[in-house]
Chain A
Amino acid sequence: MNTFEKLAQIDRRIIYLILFIVVAIPFLFKVQISMKPTSDVVEAYEFIDSIPEGSAVIISIDYDASSMPELQPMLEAILRHLFSRNIRVLLMSQWALGLPLGQEAIEQVAEEYDKKYGVDYVVLGYRPGLQAVIINMGRDLPATFDNVDYKNRPLKDMPVMEGIKNYGNIAVIIGLEAGSVGDLWAQFANSRYGVKLILGATAVVAPDLYPYKQAGQVVAILGGLRAAADYETLVKHKGAATYGMASQAFVHFLIIAFIILGNIGYLASRRKRRS
């Protein structure tokens, strides 16, 4: 076996080791790469910027720990933007184990902006039923959550819920998606009730949501870690996504390098077979 042919058969453990090093080094040294925010992210940012102060938005945590590296920084950046503009936040989840991640982020960001639970934000909790929950929220939002927050405290006693009856009182729904719940938000909340939608999604899920954007059912789609990093840039608060982008960029380059090496090896072995 010559050198070229060996390139087609690199041991997978070597690939794993190189990948680990390429991911770890930029993280350890906090390497940063400057980026120009993409048009989708700017669109989402400008839309949120145009919402009048005191309006209410819903954020739905439709992911769990496995998609946390991409979506948690996105959530934190969006929360910073919302709280800096004094917009009320109603946090809910369509994934049972996603809610605590949302709580974690909102408590941390609310503290930075001196926002109070029940006054500036509320955690509505999780309800099973996906589209049934979305449809019922459009008719009577508090009743869908049995008129209580996640700790069974009455919503009617909370100033944050003042004047909120259904989607008509919501400026935008921001869904952070790691699965197919984004489709349901577009199909039921937007199509039936006309509520504005911004969907943040993992890089794998984002392409599934593009048709809704092109059809005008979604204001903007925030796709993957890049969108999270762009949003961090726009809110001028660098976080995990900005630092993670260097790792992601280098890993993409590495994978392309591996693909090239694999193809050189493949072509060399094909040549040998033919001769």
Chain B
Amino acid sequence: MKREIPLLITFIAGFLIVVALFIPHPPFNKIEETFNSWYIIVAGFTFILGIDSLILHNWEKIRRRSEGWPFALTVILSFFITLIWGIVSGVRTGHIFSTNSTFRNYFYLYIYVPLQATMFAILSFFIASAAYRAFRARTLNATLLLLTASIVMLGRVPLGNVALIPVISIAVLMLLWVLVDELKYVTSPTQRLIYIGIAVVAVVAAFPITKFLYHNLSPVTDWIMNVPQMAAKRGLFIGLALGGIAVSLRIILGIEQSYMS
């Protein structure tokens, strides 16, 4: 019975919610509303689970003097300082985020916000460094990714079309450099001809491409985002949705039971 009753509850709840979507009339719409209200209450309680997990995990680290235990101590102290400050401030002003709340005016605005913003801002340094190291034209796919990313990056900022001129010029020079280099190792006359052809096309096409992008960088960026990007994203979304439906059905029908373990 320990397994059967939760499975039955899951089945009834899941089934009724699905029915309510297709028949949004009494009594199903009321049932869905009630279930949603329960869900909101249960979701509130998940915070308690989170706190429980945070405290126990870090307390265990401190107790065992595991590596980095002072950080765990900092977490627990910060948690209780925040909690107590928040409660005191909330009781005194009616709400922790009231305009005259010291929790909001000192803790939230001058400690929490700058700390979190700083943590996130650090990412920009890693992204710049990672882009420098990872965006190498090692293969054709990598080169295409590199070119597309560069166009979108320039297309998303003002003056991007102006910066495009030196970028394309350097890219063409680099391509010529690679082709000339490759020619030294190519023995087949056909292959040599192809390489020379690519070089000539690159030089001839560079000017019109630059001119076109200079005037149409924004629409080209929009096209990249709205067509190839969106096609990949839609495929991903459809896959995710189908996967979600399959897992939901397995849970409702009691085939998938791992959530109970």
User: A residues touching B (Cβ–Cβ < 8 Å)?
Assistant: 10, 12, 15-16, 19-20, 23, 33-35, 38-39, 64-69, 97, 99-101, 103-104, 107, 127-130, 132-133, 135-136, 139-140, 144, 150-152, 203, 207-208, 210-211, 214, 224, 226, 245, 248-249, 251-256, 258-264, 266-267, 271, 274
Contacts and interface: CB of A to CB of B under 8 A. Distances in A.
Interface of B: 29, 32-33, 36-37, 39-40, 43-44, 46-47, 94-95, 97-99, 104, 108-109, 112-117, 119-121, 124-125, 127-129, 131-133, 135-138, 146, 150, 153-154, 156-160, 163, 167, 170-171, 174, 177-178, 181, 185, 218, 222, 225-226, 229-230, 233-234, 237
A266 B177 CA distance: 12
Prevailing SS type, chain B contact patch: helix
A118 B169 CA distance: 59
A179 to B, nearest CB: 13
A208 B109 CA distance: 30
Contact of B128 (A255, A260, A261): A255
A226 B174 contact: no
Nearest to B234: A211
Nearest to B135: A259
B114 to A, nearest CB: 8
B174 A264 contact: yes
A214 B153 contact: no
A107 B105 CA distance: 14
B156 A226 contact: yes
Nearest to B116: A65
A66 B121 CA distance: 8
A68 B113 contact: yes
B28 to A, nearest CB: 12
Closest 8 CB pairs of A and B: A66-B120, A129-B40, A249-B157, A128-B43, A132-B36, A65-B116, A258-B132, A33-B158
Nearest to A275: B184
B150 A34 contact: no
Contact of B44 (A97, A128, A253): A128
Given A210-B225, A252-B160, A258-B128, A136 B170 contact: no
Contacts of A67: 120
Nearest to A208: B233
Nearest to B99: A107
A262 B36 contact: no
A224 B43 CA distance: 30
Nearest to A260: B170
Given A35-B158, A130-B43, 5 more contacts: A208-B233, A211-B237, A245-B157, A260-B170, A260-B171
Contacts of B170: 260
A256 B153 contact: yes
Contact of B40 (A33, A101, A136, A226): A136
A97 B225 contact: no
Given A64-B116, A256-B150, A258-B131, A211 B178 contact: no
Contact of A129 (B43, B109, B153, B218): B43
